[in-house]
Structure formats: C-alpha cells, structure tokens
Amino acid sequence: MNLKKLVVAGSLMVSVLSAGNYEVDKSHSNIAFKVKHLMLSSAKGSFDNFSGSFEYDEKSGVLKALSGDILSNTIYTNNEDRDKHLKAEDMLDTKKFPKIYFTLTKFEDNFVYGDITIKGIKKNIKLVYENNGHAKDPWGNYRAAFELSGKINRKDFGLTYNKLLESGGLIVGDVVKISIEIEGIKKL
C-alpha cells in the first residue's frame, strides 16, 4: 500500500513539475493581423503593447491556461492616417475601450478556444495552436513558445466602417486574419 501511495505521489509531482506558469516576453512575441484592402491586397498591422501569462505543460506541450490584454491604441499599420482611423469610434474606439482581452476557455486537438473581447463585445473564437517547444536560455531562464492563428469577422465586434467602390467591392474586407507568436519566461 505504501508503494502505491509513493507511485501516485511521484506521478503527481512529475505532473506538477512539468507544468509551468509563464509571463509573456514582449520583446520575443508578436500580435499581428491582416485584412483585405480594396479586395485586391492586404493591409497588415500589429499591436505594440500587450501583456499576458500562460500555463504550459512542458511534457505534453499543451496550454493549460492563457490570458492577456492588448492596449488597443498601440495599433500600427505603417500608415499614420489609417492608424488614426482605426482608433476612432467607428473602429476600435480606443478612448472608450482601451484594451482588447483574451482568455482561454478550452484546449482540444491543437486548437485553442477562447473569449476575445473587442469594444466590450465578447465572443468565443477558435485558433489553431502550434507548439514551438521549450528550452533553457543562456541566462538560466526557462522559456516556452507557441503560435496561434485564426480568423474573426470584424463586424461581430462593431468594427463597421466601410465604403463601396465603383466596381461594387468594398474598401475593407470583413474577415481579419490573426497571427500570434508568443514566447514566455517561466515564473519561478
């Protein structure tokens, strides 16, 4: 009986030790997006200021938890006029809604499901998860990294601006492709 308890305790300890809490390292992470422009090409952008944390099981590569927020007024598309418009009321309305939030609700079969809140509107979305692994860096920090990708419809979040072109198309597409690369430092 004591041997059985020892095996169970050892298994629990390995499980606890293989999971870790990580803080997002902004200098090695990126939150990017792209959306159709004139239905011909894509306008690309990113957010420069964000924070978050996650729980990562080093043995299985599975995310156990993930939460983060983005300062919406740090949107950058390499076009000052467009950036100003994206911060306006008919788009992100960054004065009224200074943050975008995300919280993982479920991890299943290399998909992350989570609640994203943009302009106060919360929707559950599905993102493809790619585990990039974990390692100890030369300075003794333990790091883990992963990528998320998916799509949202901007109109679902009240991002309604658009204009018709003479050809009948729209200036801005409705589908926003999201690409997120995260590297975290393990909290000890």
CATH number at residue 143: 2.40.128.110
Has residue 28 been placed in a domain? yes
CA–CA gap between residue 39 and residue 161 (Å, rounded): 15
Cβ atoms 22, 64 nearer than 8 A:
no
- Select from 136, 135, 113 the least CA-distant residue to 124: 113
The two structure tokens encoding residue 92: 């992100």
- Select from 88, 86, 100, 97 the least CA-distant residue to 50: 100
Has residue 3 been placed in a domain? no
**The total number of structural domains that make up the chain:** 1
Domain span including residue 103: 19-186
Q: What are the residues facing 112 on neighbouring strands?
A: 107, 127
Has residue 11 been placed in a domain? no
Has residue 12 been placed in a domain? no
The structure's pTM equals 0.86
Has residue 14 been placed in a domain? no
Has residue 76 been placed in a domain? yes
DSSP E strands in 58-141: the ranges are: 62-71, 75-76, 99-108, 111-118, 121-136
Has residue 2 been placed in a domain? no
129: left (phi over 0), alpha (psi -120 to 50) or beta: beta
CA–CA gap between residue 98 and residue 70 (Å, rounded): 8
Q: How far is CA 105 from the centre of its chain?
A: 13
Cβ atoms 33, 70 nearer than 8 A:
no
Has residue 5 been placed in a domain? no
Q: How big is the chain, counted in residues?
A: 188
CB atoms within 10 A of CB 19: 16
Pairing of strands 99-108, 75-76: unpaired
Q: For the segment 18-58, what is each residue's pLDDT rounded down to a tens digit? A: 579 999 999 999 999 999 988 888 999 999 999 999 999 99
- pLDDT band of residue 12 (cuts 50, 70, 90) is very low
Q: For the segment 80-124, what is each residue's pLDDT rounded down to a tens digit? A: 999 999 999 999 999 999 999 999 999 999 999 999 999 999 999
